[in-house]
Amino acid sequence: MAVMTARRTGVQSRVRRRGVAILACLTAGLGALLVLPATATADGPITPTATDYLARITHVPAGIQAKVTDGYLNLWMRVPPTEDVTVRDYVGAPWVRFSPAGVAINQNSEEYYLSQVPVPATVPTRLTRPPYPPPHWVKVSSGHSYEWREGRLHALANIALAPGQSYLGKWKLPVVVNGRHASIIGGIWHRGAPSVVWFWPVLVLLTCALAAWRVRSAELDRGLSRAIALLLLVLVAVGMGGKYLHGSPDVTAGNVLLLLLTLAVLGAVAGRLLGGRSGGPLLLLTAVIALWAGLTLLPVLTHGYALVVLPLFLVRVIAAALLGGALSLVLFAVRMLDRVAT
């Protein structure tokens, strides 16, 4: 009997240590992300979730469709199949050409190198001073729309801001439409990071969960953990839906597929929870899913503009609730594992 008791005590101790380690790792990971530079969680080179800068178009030549995508990073254009439109680069050389045959880019343009993703390439010296070489056109699409990284949209983001300044200035892209000179014109705006008060709900939720956890009631743990888990699944569905359904410029088939896969996983987990299966492993899985979604949406708590289809206030509430709820759920998951071990 003494051997069995000692063995059981050892298992309980290992489970507790494992649970504490999991919670510590999750909390440390969250803390590390919070102290990273802003550029590490938003304004990134590819599909940012949030940004401090937003470019808007104020004038576009008749017949041309143009949209700024990913906040202020890219420009998307669509031209009627019968039109011939050429976008010029920084020095006036032809850069992107739309024609009845499709879309072509000039690889002898400075912007061909500066528009590379994730980082700009070095521009050859022969392209930086006259005489400039003739265009080297490469067809990139047989369609009539194209999207590229456009540095002129966000060049103003590098200037120093005066206190309270929101409008940074105007940008202009010269284009030639059927032989006529015209311009796509717009501006760029800045909105600073929101208050750190948005992180208080994370601490409040975790504190409340700790208070309930200390009661050590199996019935309370079971009911509260299931309620938290189901709520987190709903928040993940809404939050990630808001991200995946944000068009750049349109909602892609890939984003729709990702959303459907996410909803399928959430539905499967919710079904097991509603079916009465709320053991430690399932709760831990739910916590990991919620933490993944919360970290994906974390930039909306540290940047001024959210690139999602949801209202800004709502998506911030969802992000904070996901982070706090995920960490809280880990506590109950560890308790469940502890009870199974005993």
Beta carbons within 8 Å of 289's beta carbon, 6+ residues apart: 232, 233, 236, 265, 266, 269
Report whether 129 contacts 123 (CB < 8 A).
Answer: no
How many C-beta atoms lie closer than 10 Å to residue 222's C-beta? Answer: 17
Average pLDDT over residues 244-263: 89
In the chain, alpha helices (H): 2-35, 110-114, 151-154, 200-214, 218-244, 253-274, 280-297, 312-341
Whole-angstrom distance, CA of residue 231 vs CA of residue 80? 47
Mean pLDDT throughout 88-108?
Answer: 94
145 phi/psi in degrees, rounded to 5: -135, 155
Q: Pairing mode, if any, of strands 65-69 and 74-78?
A: antiparallel
Please check the confidence at residue 212 and state whether its pLDDT lies above 90: no
Burial (CB < 10 A; 0-12, 13-18, 19+), residue 64, is middle
What is the average pLDDT value for the chain, to the nearest integer?
85
Residue 15: the pLDDT is: 46
| pLDDT tens string 27-85 | 545 444 444 433 334 455 567 899 999 999 999 999 999 999 999 999 999 999 999 99
Count CA atoms within 13 Å of residue 80 on its CB side: 8
Closest by alpha carbon to 86, among 132, 142, 146?
A: 146
Residue showing tokens 């202020």: 72
**pLDDT given at position 250:** 81
Neighbours of 6 (CB within 10 A): 10
Give the predicted TM-score (pTM) of the model: 0.81
Residue type at 162? A
Distance CA 318, CA 309 (A): 13
For 170-208, the pLDDT digits (tens) are 999 999 999 999 999 999 999 989 999 999 999 999 888
Separation CA 249–CA 301 (nearest Å): 24
Q: Tell me what pLDDT residue 41 has.
A: 40
What proportion of the chain, given as a percentage, has pLDDT over 90?
59
Print the SS3 string covering 32-61: HHHHCCHHHCCCCCCCCCEECEEEEEEECC
306 contacts 312 by C-beta, under 8 angstroms: yes
Nearest to 322 by CA among 215, 243, 258: 243
- Interior angle at CA 267, CA 280 and CA 283, nearest 5: 10
The C-alpha angle with vertex 63 and arms to 134 and 98, in degrees rounded to 5, equals 25
DSSP string covering 214-240, please? Answer: HT--HHHHHHHHHHHHHHHHHHHHHHH
Task: Provide the percentage of residues in the chain whose pLDDT is more than 70.
Answer: 85
Tell me what pLDDT residue 290 has.
Answer: 96
Q: Are 12 and 264 in contact (CB under 8 A)?
A: no
Using one digit for the tens of pLDDT, what is the confidence trace for 118-138?
888 999 988 888 888 999 999
| Phi, psi dihedrals of residue 97, rounded to the nearest 5° | -120, 125
Q: For residue range 304-329, what is the model confidence (pLDDT) as tens digits?
A: 999 999 999 999 999 999 999 999 99
- What is the distance between the alpha carbons of residues 105 and 128, in angstroms, rounded to a whole number? 18
The pLDDT of 249-265, averaged and rounded, is 90
Does residue 68 contact residue 55 with C-beta atoms inside 8 Å? yes
How far apart, in whole angstroms, are the C-alpha atoms of residue 182 and residue 64?
11
